[in-house]
Structure 1
Amino acid sequence: MKLLLNIKKENDDLGKQVNNLANISFLATHIKHFTILLLFVSSFNIQGQELLYQDGKKYTLGGITVSGNSSFSEQTIVTYSGLRKGKEITIPGEDISTAIKKLWNSKLFSDIEVYVTKIEDDVAFLEIRLSDLPQLNELKINGVKKSKKEKIIEENKLKKGTKVTENLITTTKNFLVNKYKKEGYLNSKIHINTIDVKDSIKVARVNMVLNIDKGEKVKIKDIVFNGNDVLSDKKLRKSMKSTKKINRLRIFKRSKFIDSAYQADLSNVIEKYKENGYRDARILSDSLIINDDKTISLQINVKEGELYTFGDITFIGNTVYTNEELSRILRIKKGDTYNGVLLQERIQDDSSPDAQDIANQYQNFGYLFSTISPVEVSADNNVIDMEIRIIEGKPAYFNSVTIVGNDKTNDHVIYREIRTRPGQLYRKANVVRTVRELGQLGFFDAQEISPNFNNPNPNEGTIDMEYSVKETGSSQIELQGGYGGGGFIGTLGLSFNNFSIKDIFKKDAYKPIPMGDGQKLALRLQASRFYQTYSFSFSEPWLGGRRPVQFSSSLSHTKQFLYNPATRNADKSRSFNITGITFGLAKRLSVPDDFFTLSQAISYQRYDLNNYNTGLFTFGDGYSNNLSYTIGLSRNNTSVDPIFPTAGSSFSVTAKLSIPYSLFNGVDYDALKDERDTNLNIRNDVNSSTADRENAQAKIAEIDQERYKWLEFYKVSFKGDWYTQIVKDLVLKPSVEFGFLGAYDNARGVIPFERFFVGGDGLGNYSLDGRESIQLRGYPNQSLSDQDGGTIYNKFSLELRYPITLKASAKIYALGFLEGGASYNNFRDYNPFSIKRSAGLGIRIFMPAFGLLGIDFGRRFDDIPGQAGSKNNWETHFIIGQQF
């Protein structure tokens, strides 16, 4: 660096001074931001000549002044510059350059200049002239939704008071352009303008306007491959999971170009070749072509290479398993087409924690520290000989097993579900099962359960196991109102799913309720002008705390008042009351496997009719008793999250039986049936007198009271659900249901209670007579059964689910469905293929405090019985507190 300065105290004319100042001005214009200008007193004689920078003269600083537009004090600026009065400096030299750099590196100033204002003998006086960087006063963002603006401000640090530099503006613009490009907006435009704020405040401030024009997401018109002879363009395009060309029939994958997804799909193309034996395939080049219609086309040039096959596959280092045993797991033979992807999956499939691969075979028998490496030892003549090199290591044992993150749930509730114990041999299957069991409890966010391996010690063969959980709300409140059943219906429900009954009398345990023992307590009240329902239930999942035997109990009471057509109000003097109580036990089995549960229950219901005459019952005064025994066998091995399972199945078979009273109560039901038929004919005979018909009706009521004093029936139900993850996050759920209500004695007949009512949302606001409401969307509630219900039903459904979010605060997923079903009165009419069909879309929202909420829009493809021309109509169903 050269500086045109040489100062001598000599007499000279003004012309020389002007020439020197001209030289200094020329230098200042060529050193951006770092400017040293020397102003001289006219009484000095100055002679200028070119000197090297290192030839500067030493001066003592006589004083430093600060000028310009800055909110900082003079003392602060001078102190930060490192210059001080009395300091010896060289002009020109490093001292002033260093001071300027210090001030510049503070990133507080937009312009910095240092002047020599006066020189007396060997004493120099300086002036530092600078301006503050402007602060951001107001920011206006145009072109995006309000919900997105806060994130943009946070990501780019554009809060009020931020210093606005050219670098800030440039990095903000580049960040947003790259961000939108990754989302598929290749033509996004970002403009940033700053406007000086003119006010009485001395601080330099600017308002910033950020204009965002994302444009449209660029669609892919075509994807063309060059150089492919073995695999067609169609097959290669199919291997690209996220990059698709325009196809109006495609629903779940759009033809938007996203660069990150495209790069991943190029790797998928190579994987496709490897799956077909072309291990040397590679992408030579790819190009993006912008079309006139604002779409793009992708051209991908590939080199396929030659076809390879597997040769000899040798296992090395295995002592626990024989070559034959490992070969049966690998399932790849000499001469098979080379498939590198399949080879890796058979050795260690990272996509499935319980896959049938060699790594899991070792890890399920304690060999946590084993490593398995496939090595190609020869590729002569396109035949690849493989060595599967195995280092088995020592079997691993659990040294300690701990749980973290459970703030509410007591430790013993968690530890009794854990399948791994200290001192126990490590088995991967037990770890996977533990994660599943903890998720099924419903007390933790199933997506956040994490098994952590701590302090692995291959030499000692030990491992510490830590399960990390995140508590989620396990209590729910139900508070709703609606119109139905002829009036307003209000519902208040409380469900405590992690209750602790032993702490019910401990004052300190109410936070707000006693919690932590995994018990369930539910209270519910539903009322309208015409009925009232009260219910209470309690269950303990581990009766006695030692074995997984669930005890459950429930108590309910319902009172229904008859509708008075004259007043359009409830007639409180005419009522139908049901009181019921149930006790049940459910035991987890170990055979055939421990996913099975055997449940048993005894229930009693009493039906009391007080001057309650309707079409449902032939007697208006009287009672019926329902004492029944229910036995069920179920198996549930669905994956971790009970709200959104992605794999496994769930099925149940139940039988509900009453005591066969007709075998021993001495009543001749054949005679009663004949007598009833006789009186029925009299009642229906138009030639009968009014008195005869009334007497016949009274006799029928008397006979039915005898027939139904103690209900006699058997009821069989089956339900099965299967879950399959088609692609990532997209889950297919087929279901099948069947139910049958029968009688031991045909003369006694099928009871008018416990029947099936098919159609609608399946909620059944108030079931007075033990009825089951079967969901079949697209049809009005209970519209596919007779008025008195059916004795047989079947239903088939196919549901496709896709999660929107699975966070603990709210789990949301969308669904599409196809389903069909029907209700029948006897086996003579039963035809499982004659069903009423529908299809539609829906959404489910699960919030811990309110349970499951949802809405479905269903379209029926068949007429409602008795309503010709009613097909192809839509029904809207609101789902509350149920999962389908």
Structure 2
Amino acid sequence: MIKLQKSIIGLLFLFVTFLPHAKAQEADSTNFSVYYSSARKYTIADIQVSGIRYLDKTVLIQLSGLTVGDYVEVPGDKITEAIKKLWQQGLFSDVKITATKIVEGDIWLDIYLQERPRLSDVNFYGVSKSEKDDITEKVLLLRGSQITDHQVNSAQRTIKGIFTAKGFLNTDVNIVQRDDSTQNNSVVLDIYVDKKEKVKVNNIEIEGNEALSDNALEKAMKKTNEKSLRNFFKTKKYLEEEYEKDKVNMVDKYNEKGYRDAVVTNDSVFQVQVGKKNKTRVNIDMTVEEGDKYYFGDIKWVGNTVYPSEYLSTVLGIKKGDVFNQKILDKRLFDNDEGLNNLYLDQGYLFFNLEPVEVNVNKDTIDYEMRIMEGKQATINEVRIVGNTKTHEHVARREVRTYPGDLFSKTLLMRSYRELAQLGHFDPEAINPDVQPHPEDGTVDIEYQLQEKANDQIELSGGWGAGMFVGSVGLKFANFSVRNIFNKEAWRPLPTGDGQTLSLRYQTSGKYYRTVSLSFIEPWLGGKKPNSLSLSLSHSRINYSANKYYQSYNPYGYGGGYGGYGGYSGYGGYNPYGYGYGSYYPSYNYNYGSESDNEDEAQIWETTALALGYGYRLSWPDDYFTVYHEASLEHYNLRNMGSYFAFLADEGGQVNGTFNNLGFKTVVGRSSIDNPLYSRRGSNLSLTLKMTPPYSWFTNTDYSDENLSNKDRYKWIEYHKWLLKGQIYNPLTNPNSDHTLVLRTAFEMGFLGYFDKGRQSPFEGFIVGGSGMSGYNMYGTDYVALRGYKDYSLSPSSGSKMYSKFTMELRFPITLKPSATIYALAFIEGGNTSMSFQNYSPFNLHRSAGLGVRIFLPMFGLMGIDWGYGFDDIPGYSDAAGSQFHFVIGQQF
């Protein structure tokens, strides 16, 4: 109606313009009149467009439908149609067509157009910055663009929809246009948003359900929950999109129980006012029709030649008479991990297709025909690796299990993904094995898309504890390249790309303590097989007499200090996160004597350690198994150390001399975890045996002789040490999600044995309790975390001979981005120690529970904090249990 009125106004304008001059048109071409009672035809001599600043005039003339040389009747329909066409563009606030000149049968026309105002600025009121960004992203109000009524109305609807989707069902949006005084023909939009309160679900009423209870159906609705005690920890806000999904979830729940015809026949959502404050809530009324319960009948296989029908039926695992369950059927057939389709995909049948068809429904029984089209086997044509901007291609390619010329295998494809993730050089969440099939020739290309991540680590830290300051500097280069050391162009700033690990670390507290360590790991010795070579060297020195804290040390006391860490701790590693030696064992006498500046009287403990290791993978029982062998030599030089190792003291009450620990270690392990930073599935098991030569078997010395000096008894210490550890990861929600809830179950057991009772090792024990961070780790001791108890509180200073520990932990990821991996956790665990096998009770546990968080930053490694509560007292250590905080640096629990 508005457009028609504007067209009439245009015609009236022509009438008023032409009428006064009609009689003098031959005499004066600009002085003419038009009579509507007697229209005349003219030839268009020229067309001009006026009033336009931004638009193309030639295009506008074309849009009008008028062309120079055409005949038009004035007044007439063609002029009217031209005005309508220009109005329909929605770009103008005024449209006029006038005659500027008439000469005999020719007419000159002018199309006057007033452009709609353009947007100069947008202001938001009543929204946060993040909400403003969300609106700006979804509502395209571009500065400089024309503003139409349709755009304003559309923006209003979109903004209201944004907040409705967040639970603000009664949001009001008011958009005000005002002229911009600083720019001609420009407007400013002021957008006022009143979100009001989020609307929550007050009550859900379900009718027609008999087979499933109201509670079961409401549990199936994941995001739509009424206000009740059982939903205390669940969201109660009403979201229309989630509600529609939950109706499907409710029907799926019926399908799982055999009711495949179940439907929601009617539902209504209406707002109500509840409580004294008349808060707005919604009630939901639903009516369901359950239908009959169905069962699986005969299942026949058609088109299968690779596998016999009996075998496929066994793999499917569904028998005649089982309750019909569409979810189970789909999972058994098509699941990425367990589906029957994987049988074919692992044999190269990439073009395989399976279609389950219902061939007969007899009352409550459904017969299926599984129609298989196997197709031909796909051969791998090309394997590409992209995205490795820092790591050399051969480092990634040697981990890939899919080779050109081989048949396609999904298992090997996913194994390749795992091995690339385990390298640590690439973001595990960004690895994408892109499969590109070519049905025309029966081949497939595979492109492993990688994204480099920083994994070098640096340590610059300082900490105060136990009466001293400790400073550290450390570097860990996790993608080093030895072969390019002498290549000047490869130093950026260091030669990298070959996947080798080089670590350097120095720590000191002045006169009291200093240590230096170096380690190197080559994961593919020779470059042809995954045989690793490792080398580490360290030297540490502690002068107990240089620290006043130890001069007044009390066996019941406990000290602590805090510092920073860069992710590496080798032999002789020291950490300023804890001091003190926990529980009191009366057979030991802790007395550190007096401070002395005399080097001959000082209490000195020096350790020099060297280790050489070699590891390789096994092909049996499967290639997840690995074996690692290591030979190590630790040389201890003790002077005046009777106060620390009282049980080694000579007649003068001191321990002087050197002690040597020549050990040989073998670790048999199996690791199938999918991601080293946030594991969702798989397991990690290991059995470790470390032992020294049984020197006592080859001598005639009676080591039970109390008169035998410690220098002779322990010059070469002997022992055999066993460790059994296991971790199992199970996803509790979608394992392919960025928010997978994971259950981690773990156990540990350790035993330190001897070859001769009179020659039991004073070193290599287990120290249990607290964060598991080592104070000195100067003599091969294993530090075992047990949260909820103070550090070292379950063991004597020299370590326990046996221990056990069991853990259950729920993990939830907060972010899994390359820049930072952060996840929260909740745990329960228990553990215990013993000094002899006879008194060992592995399930008589000190129990604890608590919460924590882990943060992995590429530059600094793993960090975290836990709060644990220990439930069981420790004899002789009154405050060891209870509420405890633990800091975690560079290690996993």
TM (norm. structure 2) is 0.83
CA distance in 2, matches of 1:36, 1:43: 12
Partner deviation per Cα, 1:630-676 (whole Å, 9 max, x = no partner): 1111111112x2211111111111111122222234433211xx348
CA distance in 2, matches of 1:528, 1:309: 75
**In structure 2, do the counterparts of structure 1 residues 61 and 367 end up closer, same or farther at CA, with 3 Å as the change threshold?**
closer
SS in 2 for 1:295: strand
Are residues 1:654 and 2:688 paired? yes
- Give the counterpart of 2:170 among 151, 169, 187: 187
CA distance in 2, matches of 1:532, 1:105: 84
Partner deviation per Cα, 1:724-774 (whole Å, 9 max, x = no partner): 1112211111111122223222212341x2222222222225422322222
Matches within 5 A, 1:296-695: 296-349=282-335, 353-355=336-338, 357-457=339-439, 460-529=441-510, 530-564=512-546, 573=599, 574=602, 575-612=604-641, 614-616=643-645, 618=649, 619-639=654-674, 641-671=675-705, 674-675=706-707
Q: Which runs of 5+ in 2 are unaligned?
A: 24-32, 275-279, 552-594, 735-739
The residue aligned with 1:746 is 757
Partner deviation per Cα, 1:239-285 (whole Å, 9 max, x = no partner): 33343333555577423333333322322222222222222222212
Asked if the contact 1:783/1:865 (under 8 Å) is kept, the reply is no
Are residues 1:727 and 2:761 paired? no
CA RMSD of aligned residues (A): 3.6
> Structure 1 counterpart of 2:751, which letter?
F
> Structure 1 counterpart of 2:517, which letter?
S
**In structure 2, do the counterparts of structure 1 residues 90 and 811 end up closer, same or farther at CA, with 3 Å as the change threshold?**
farther
Partner deviation per Cα, 1:759-817 (whole Å, 9 max, x = no partner): 22222254223222222223332233234332222211111111222222322222111
**In structure 2, do the counterparts of structure 1 residues 184 and 652 end up closer, same or farther at CA, with 3 Å as the change threshold?**
farther
Are residues 1:177 and 2:167 paired? no
The residue aligned with 1:6 is none
Are residues 1:295 and 2:270 paired? no
Asked if the contact 2:264/2:288 (under 8 Å) is kept, the reply is yes
The structural deviation recorded for 1:220 is 2.7
The structural deviation recorded for 1:864 is 5.3
- Give the counterpart of 2:132 among 149, 152, 158: 149
CA distance in 2, matches of 1:31, 1:210: 36
Partner deviation per Cα, 1:410-443 (whole Å, 9 max, x = no partner): 2222222222222222222222222222222222
- Give the counterpart of 1:776 among 786, 794, 819: 786
The structural deviation recorded for 1:104 is 6.1
> Structure 2 counterpart of 1:655, which letter?
L
SS in 2 for 1:505: coil
Asked if the contact 1:509/1:515 (under 8 Å) is kept, the reply is yes
SS in 2 for 1:605: strand
Matches within 5 A, 1:681-830: 703-728=709-734, 729-751=740-762, 753-830=763-840
CA distance in 1, matches of 2:636, 2:844: 35
The residue aligned with 1:844 is 854
> Structure 2 counterpart of 1:341, which letter?
K
SS in 1 for 2:848: strand
Asked if the contact 1:779/1:864 (under 8 Å) is kept, the reply is no
SS in 1 for 2:526: helix
> Structure 2 counterpart of 1:713, which letter?
Y
**In structure 2, do the counterparts of structure 1 residues 822 and 142 end up closer, same or farther at CA, with 3 Å as the change threshold?**
farther
Partner deviation per Cα, 1:11-51 (whole Å, 9 max, x = no partner): xxxxxxxxxxxxxx997567699995665489547999877
CA distance in 1, matches of 2:10, 2:783: 81
**In structure 2, do the counterparts of structure 1 residues 560 and 644 end up closer, same or farther at CA, with 3 Å as the change threshold?**
same
**In structure 2, do the counterparts of structure 1 residues 317 and 99 end up closer, same or farther at CA, with 3 Å as the change threshold?**
same
Are residues 1:135 and 2:119 paired? yes
Quick one: higher RCO (CA 8 Å, sep 6+), 1 or 2? 2
The structural deviation recorded for 1:76 is 9.7
CA distance in 2, matches of 1:807, 1:42: 76
CA distance in 1, matches of 2:880, 2:412: 54
The structural deviation recorded for 1:594 is 0.9
Deviates more, 1:377-386 or 1:253-262: 253-262
SS in 2 for 1:543: coil
Asked if the contact 2:179/2:186 (under 8 Å) is kept, the reply is yes
SS in 2 for 1:757: strand
CA distance in 2, matches of 1:576, 1:776: 28
The structural deviation recorded for 1:97 is 5.9
> Structure 2 counterpart of 1:136, which letter?
S
CA distance in 1, matches of 2:550, 2:10: 90
> Structure 2 counterpart of 1:313, which letter?
I
> Structure 1 counterpart of 2:662, which letter?
L
CA distance in 1, matches of 2:424, 2:13: 73
**In structure 2, do the counterparts of structure 1 residues 324 and 76 end up closer, same or farther at CA, with 3 Å as the change threshold?**
closer
SS in 2 for 1:554: strand
Q: Which runs of 5+ in 1 are unaligned?
A: 2-24, 677-702
TM (norm. structure 1) is 0.84
**In structure 2, do the counterparts of structure 1 residues 90 and 777 end up closer, same or farther at CA, with 3 Å as the change threshold?**
farther
**In structure 2, do the counterparts of structure 1 residues 213 and 645 end up closer, same or farther at CA, with 3 Å as the change threshold?**
farther
Deviates more, 1:108-117 or 1:404-413: 108-117
Percent sequence identity is: 40
The residue aligned with 1:17 is none
SS in 2 for 1:643: coil
Asked if the contact 2:139/2:159 (under 8 Å) is kept, the reply is no
CA distance in 2, matches of 1:227, 1:77: 64
Partner deviation per Cα, 1:545-572 (whole Å, 9 max, x = no partner): 2222111111112222325466999977
> Structure 1 counterpart of 2:213, which letter?
S
> Structure 2 counterpart of 1:287, which letter?
S
Asked if the contact 2:458/2:475 (under 8 Å) is kept, the reply is yes
CA distance in 2, matches of 1:545, 1:485: 47
Asked if the contact 2:7/2:84 (under 8 Å) is kept, the reply is no
**In structure 2, do the counterparts of structure 1 residues 41 and 764 end up closer, same or farther at CA, with 3 Å as the change threshold?**
same
The structural deviation recorded for 1:84 is 10
The residue aligned with 2:589 is none
Deviates more, 1:475-484 or 1:96-105: 96-105
CA distance in 2, matches of 1:268, 1:371: 27
> Structure 2 counterpart of 1:360, which letter?
N
The residue aligned with 2:891 is 882
CA distance in 2, matches of 1:604, 1:32: 104
